[in-house]
Homo-oligomer: A and B are copies of this chain.
């Protein structure tokens, strides 16, 4: 895929320049300098020869076939150049030129024009406004970057050219290898997902690394990421604030979604390993690119000093990793060669006078222990230790075994050369023990992800047709919200139990209704303008007699008239009062990039105060629904604490799956929530006590 971008037979540099320091010069120089073997054609109407190559006045004049065009002409000329590329049968162009969408409305116009022209001409585009593209294996450096990284197995794509520069600059200093380096620029045509797919197919790429600020098509992103992440680790740093969720929200669900909920959910659902800082992005990449995955969370630590050992142990405790107790045989073996005051348990402290040989023997012994899934080796550069010798010894063992070994040689002056030795032999070395631990932890979590069975989806009855008329009516009447009876009908159709309810317009009707339903009852105001009824005293619960019902009717209607004099009052709803159970809130919200999301949280005031909610993007698999219930902090309350009975968690799960189906059936839902959904004891189901639906034009 996208082969001509990464392994073209020939390259035209359109806008090549004679002036060193100009981008059109630097690109040409990079292509020549870093050993590209194909033909290179500089294009510039005003030059004859640049860097010893014959220059062509236009793309059309180039004699041979052109695999890749690299474009660095002024923004106004780019469209025309792309047209010419199309004429020449070029299907791949990297557009370096800036001055498009990123620079305002004039640029946006130019970019739209460019995209149109590219489509018409059959040219795929990376950029515009990018640093270029590097492939270390095919020796293509079609960029104006100040260098070429070593060959390696990390494929990096970035929405920010600056981050490309920074990552490359560090890679050059530390001899970190990359397979491909793709600066995405404005992503006018080729998107993150296109590149991710190309990197997934690329045999030279073991680890896919990305920096994004947003995605064009959230759904497609998830599909592609899910597909890739089972095969190759996909590590992404996402920054920036998404636009959705920040909008004024008319339901809790919307307000609780916040800015990051959609990306968080999407990454979780599609197995993306999320880096939370630039440092983490690097650290994870080194671990995944160089070491095998651990088969489990059991880690052993070997150290020549107590303090760093404790620091690493603390970090393990904060992670999913576990300091595994070593086998008796392992400990016995360690005793045969370590000094008696060493620590034979985990962390294994081989003491400050440890030599390279002692490190080697200790590591060799520990990796024999089949309980150990991975090892972190810490080293403080004491006067006695041969740091480089230790690095070599560790590298030798690491290359013999199929379990991950990560190191933290602490300090800088005395460990820099050995860090490079380790890197050369594919052992990632970290400045601090905590970094090694968090990287191994990320690997361990990823191993759990790839071991997971495939997701399964519920097959629900097709109910859409039965309530389509309701949604159509609401739209026809240009309403945004479903009325109470409409909500009742929709929920009933989708199988939600609801309290017995009767509508009453007068105090007398209310009393009669209460009698029919049976005491105690709940009374709620019915008014299209009132969304949060309880906020304005529009709900009364636990009404036990005729008198209480009569008084409540008077109270509610008077209060509502006082507070919202313009509200239309249709009357009150008299509802069966369901006793017992735990309140949860479930809902649908819509994200600008990922579409519908389902929310879950423990209800009542706690969801508001603690914001202890979880989100998943529609459609929900069984596993998604299960996990989103379990990942809330309040989950133990549903399971039952202190002898309380367990709530019907299966029924919650089913409710979430139904909401997911509802969202698929009705794309026009902007927000919906059942709040509270009353969860009864295990096996006794759930009851939708109250709900609201908001729909939009979609």
Listed in ascending order, the chain A residues whose CB lies under 8 Å from chain B are 21, 23, 26, 98-99, 102-104, 107, 144, 146-147, 158-163, 165-170, 172-174, 211, 213, 237, 239-241, 277-279, 304-308, 310-311, 314-315, 317, 341, 352, 380-384, 410-416, 431-435, 534-535, 537, 605-606, 608-610, 612, 633-634, 636-637, 641-644
Contacts and interface: CB of A to CB of B under 8 A. Distances in A.
Contacts of A161: 305, 307, 352
How many monomers of this protein are in the complex?
2
B352 A162 contact: yes
Contact of A642 (B352, B608, B633): B608
A221 to B, nearest CB: 18
Contact of A165 (B411, B609, B612): B411
A173 B104 contact: no
A161 B380 CA distance: 9
Given A412-B169, A434-B279, A341 B310 contact: no
Contacts of A633: 609-610
Given A163-B380, A173-B412, A239-B311, 10 more contacts: A21-B383, A162-B352, A169-B412, A173-B411, A173-B416, A213-B310, A239-B307, A277-B315, A279-B432, A610-B633
A128 B610 CA distance: 49
22 contacts: A23-B383, A26-B383, A103-B341, A107-B341, A158-B307, A160-B306, A160-B307, A161-B307, A165-B305, A165-B382, A165-B410, A167-B411, A169-B412, A239-B310, A240-B310, A278-B311, A278-B432, A278-B434, A279-B435, A535-B642, A605-B642, A610-B610
A411 B169 contact: yes
Given A314-B240, A381-B146, A642-B608, A169 B307 contact: no
Of all A-B residue pairs in the complex, the 9 with the closest CB atoms, nearest first, are A160-B307, A169-B411, A162-B305, A166-B410, A173-B412, A162-B380, A173-B413, A103-B341, A170-B412
Contacts of A432: 277-279
A311 B434 CA distance: 22
A489 to B, nearest CB: 28
Contact of A162 (B304, B314, B537): B304
B158 A104 contact: no
B21 A166 contact: no
A679 to B, nearest CB: 15
Contacts of A381: 146, 165-166, 169
Contacts of A610: 610, 612, 633-634
Contacts of A606: 606, 634, 637
Nearest to A99: B341
Given A173-B416, A341-B102, A535-B643, A162 B21 contact: no
A165 B380 contact: yes
Contacts of A413: 147, 169-170, 172-173
Residue of A147, A310, A435 with most chain B CB atoms under a 10 A cut-off: A310
Contacts of A537: 643
A104 B341 contact: yes
B411 A307 contact: no
A307 B103 contact: no
A412 B174 contact: yes
Given A21-B383, A162-B410, A411-B165, A609 B641 contact: yes
A66 B431 CA distance: 40
A414 B146 contact: yes
A120 to B, nearest CB: 28
Residue of A21, A305, A307, A537 with most chain B CB atoms under a 10 A cut-off: A307
A314 B167 CA distance: 19
A571 to B, nearest CB: 23
Contacts of A411: 165-170, 173
Contacts of A158: 307
A173 B409 CA distance: 14
Contacts of A147: 413
A685 to B, nearest CB: 22
Nearest to A536: B643
A609 B610 CA distance: 13
Nearest to A641: B605
Contact of A308 (B26, B160, B311): B160
A131 to B, nearest CB: 9
Contacts of A304: 162
A237 B160 CA distance: 34
Contacts of A160: 305-308, 310
A616 to B, nearest CB: 22
A201 to B, nearest CB: 26
Contacts of A380: 162-163, 165-166
A275 to B, nearest CB: 11
B414 A211 contact: no
Contacts of A412: 169-170, 172-174
B415 A605 contact: no
B415 A169 contact: yes
